[in-house]
Amino acid sequence: MSVQSENLATGTYFRTRRLGHANMWVSDYEAQYEFYYRVLGFNKSYIQPDNKGAFVSNGNSHHDFGMIDVKSHYASRTDQQPGLNHLGFELRNEVELVEGYRRAIAAGIKFVDTADHDVAHSAYVQDPDGNEIELYADVVPDWRAVRAGTVIKDKPKYVPGVSSQPLAEEFFVRNPAYLTVEGAVFHPLRTTHAALIARDFEAMYDFYTDFVGLKAFAGGRNTNFAILAGSHSNGDVVLHRARKGASPGLHHVGVLVRDESELDQAPGALAKIGVKIDSQVDHPARRAVTILDPDNLRVQMYVNRDWRPSTLARVDPELALKLL
């Protein structure tokens, strides 16, 4: 069951800091693990062979991307295709997770699942278009001590506020020491945002503002696109209206790179290894190179320039899909 607009009348349930990660369904999780390491430049964080999953991070969190194989037991259908598995939104601490969860339950909102991931505690719900999202809080000071290399372990049952006393400590990484993969095409900092084409734009806008707790950075409920940001970002979710040539669903995941020199050399380096470029944009607000991974999922590598609402308001809706 997805959260619909009529469930959101009582106001904000969660206060999201930022988008923490994007988890993707992939056709071969081991091959994608190598691609995100050797091409995109994300360090290998940990792998779960029993779940057919792999996770990469450059230091800002336990993972920027998760790759879950379509043949994993997590797939609820035998014809699962590559695409979005879920988006993970970072909260300040577990107390905020529990408080938001209780407010939502009291309002009759149904959650898909809750989970104890060792390093984080989570609650999962679907947005109005059926995309799954995770609200999570880190619960350990050093995630690498818990999740590194090969991880095989059972997950205990977790009910927010019931299974354990919620922690008020803030364990998110404040000053990450970013890692570098030598020889990779890119040297990214972190995953920053997801661009979604909305089947029901207004309902999606209400969900991500009233439920997830994002605020409009640019655009609004009645515009062609809206950039929504948490308390510690300048854009976590970009909503675009569905239209001809823009079908509902995930369009791309955005990754911030160190500087524009990364983008200067990218086309030649990608051509040598046969990686396809979906689009390139050179705009006053942002420069971006969007590539296709082995499953033809789009990943936008970018650097912001004049990233202000006044600059973004003038962007044509067709260009916005490639730029934002």
Taking the CA atoms of residue 204, residue 205, residue 208 and residue 210 in that order, the dihedral angle to the nearest 10 degrees is -120
Q: d(Cα 74, Cα 182) in Å, to the nearest integer? A: 33
**Is residue 161 included in any domain, yes or no?**
no
- Least Cα distance to 294 among 279, 276, 278, 280 occurs for 276
What pairing do the DSSP bridges indicate for beta strands 188-198 and 237-241?
parallel
**Is residue 76 included in any domain, yes or no?**
yes
- Least Cα distance to 88 among 110, 112, 63, 111 occurs for 63
Residue 6: predicted pLDDT? 59
265 pLDDT higher than 90: yes
The answer to whether residues 276 and 219 belong to one domain is yes
Q: Which domain covers residue 131, as residue numbers? A: 11-150
Confidence of residue 154 (pLDDT cuts 50, 70, 90): confident
**Is residue 239 included in any domain, yes or no?**
yes
CA angle, 172 as apex, 171 and 173 as ends, to 5°? Answer: 115
Confidence of residue 251 (pLDDT cuts 50, 70, 90): very high
Which whole number is the average pLDDT over 9-20? Answer: 85
**Is residue 113 included in any domain, yes or no?**
yes
Residue 108: predicted pLDDT? 92
What pairing do the DSSP bridges indicate for beta strands 43-48 and 149-150?
parallel
10 pLDDT higher than 70: no
Which whole number is the average pLDDT over 47-71? Answer: 95
Which whole number is the average pLDDT over 144-171? Answer: 90
The answer to whether residues 202 and 130 belong to one domain is no
Which whole number is the average pLDDT over 209-234? Answer: 96
The answer to whether residues 215 and 306 belong to one domain is yes
- Least Cα distance to 252 among 224, 231, 279 occurs for 279
**Is residue 169 included in any domain, yes or no?**
no
The answer to whether residues 197 and 274 belong to one domain is yes
Q: What's the pTM value of the predicted model, to 2 decimals?
A: 0.95
Residue 47: predicted pLDDT? 96
> Which of 150, 179, 206 is the C-terminal boundary of a domain?
150
Q: Report the percentage of the chain scoring pLDDT > 70.
A: 97
What pairing do the DSSP bridges indicate for beta strands 18-26 and 83-90?
antiparallel
147 pLDDT higher than 90: no
Which amino acid would we find at residue 72? S
DSSP assignment of 188-233, as one string?
EEEEEEEEEEESSHHHHHHIIIIIS--EEEEE-TTSSEEEEE-TT-
- Sheet strand arrangement including 120-126: 113-116, 120-126, 132-138, 83-90, 18-26, 65-69, 53-57, 43-48, 149-150
Contacts of 289 (CB under 8 A, 6+ apart): 263, 266, 267, 277, 279, 280, 300, 301, 302
The answer to whether residues 55 and 114 belong to one domain is yes
- Least Cα distance to 16 among 96, 77, 119 occurs for 96
55 pLDDT higher than 90: yes
Q: Report the percentage of the chain scoring pLDDT > 90.
A: 85
Residue 71: predicted pLDDT? 96
Q: What is the CATH number of the domain that holds 122?
A: 3.10.180.10
Number of domains in the chain: 2
The answer to whether residues 54 and 105 belong to one domain is yes
Which whole number is the average pLDDT over 207-232? Answer: 97
Q: Where are the beta strands (DSSP E) in the chain?
A: 18-26, 43-48, 53-57, 65-69, 83-90, 113-116, 120-126, 132-138, 149-150, 188-198, 215-219, 225-229, 237-241, 249-257, 277-282, 286-292, 298-304
Q: Which two tokens stand for residue 238?
A: 């970009």
Residue 115: predicted pLDDT? 95
Which whole number is the average pLDDT over 227-247? Answer: 95
- pLDDT, tens digit, for every residue of 111-133? 999 999 999 999 999 999 999 99
Confidence of residue 149 (pLDDT cuts 50, 70, 90): confident
Residue 12: predicted pLDDT? 83
Residue 78: predicted pLDDT? 84
Residue 152: predicted pLDDT? 87
- pLDDT, tens digit, for every residue of 164-216? 899 999 999 998 889 999 999 999 999 999 999 999 999 999 999 999 999 99
Residue 291: predicted pLDDT? 98
7 pLDDT higher than 80: no
Run of H or E residues at 317: helix 317-323
Residue 11: predicted pLDDT? 62
Residue 4: predicted pLDDT? 67
Whether residue 139 contacts residue 94, with contact meaning beta carbons closer than 8 Å, is answered with yes
